[in-house]
Amino acid sequence: EDQVTQSPEALRLQEGESSSLNCSYTVSGLRGLFWYRQDPGKGPEFLFTLYSAGEEKEKERLKATLTKKESFLHITAPKPEDSATYLCAVQAGTGNQFYFGTGTSLTVIP
């Protein structure tokens, strides 16, 4: 069964304290892995798409990497405004469906 697991479930960081969020997946025929940021009461905001192992994408303090089994979202010197829930999703097989993880709730303390 296709599965996407995110860890940790929650993460509290001091401002400036770098860390990584993990998204591991077991799917057949990966077509893309997607990272989203969701603020409370809002829809998810698209961050990155990764298509193949070894690929990396960067945006400001965020960097996403992909291997054959997992993806990491690295946050360098986070700021309080980076506090949000980060979701990963994979698209696999021939359909359009995304499989979402349960998210990591990140809190950055000033």
Partner 1 sequence: GAVVSQHPSRVICKSGTSVKIECRSLDFQATTMFWYRQFPKKSLMLMATSNEGSKATYEQGVEKDKFLINHASLTLSTLTVTSAHPEDSSFYICSAADRGQPQHFGDGTRLSIL
- What does the binding site for partner 1 look like in residue numbers (CB under 8 A)? 32, 34, 36, 41-46, 49, 87, 89, 95-98, 100-103, 105
| Neighbour count for residue 38 (Cβ, 10 Å) | 15
* CB-nearer residue toward partner 1: 47 or 76: 47
For residue 33, the minimal CB distance to partner 1 (Å) is 10
Tell me how far apart the alpha carbons of residues 57 and 43 are, in angstroms, rounded to a whole number.
22
Residue 18 C-beta: closest distance to partner 1, Å: 25
Q: What is the spatial distance between Cα 62 and Cα 21, in angstroms, rounded to a whole number?
A: 11
Shorter beta-carbon distance to partner 1: residue 90 or 108: 90
Residue with Cβ nearer partner 1 (4 or 108) = 4
- Residue type at position 99: Y
Shortest reach from residue 88's CB to partner 1, in Å: 10
**Comparison of 28 and 96: residue with beta carbon closer to partner 1:** 96
Residue partners of 52: CB distance under 8 A and separation at least 6: 66
- At residue 45's C-alpha, the angle toward residues 40 and 49, to 5°, is 140
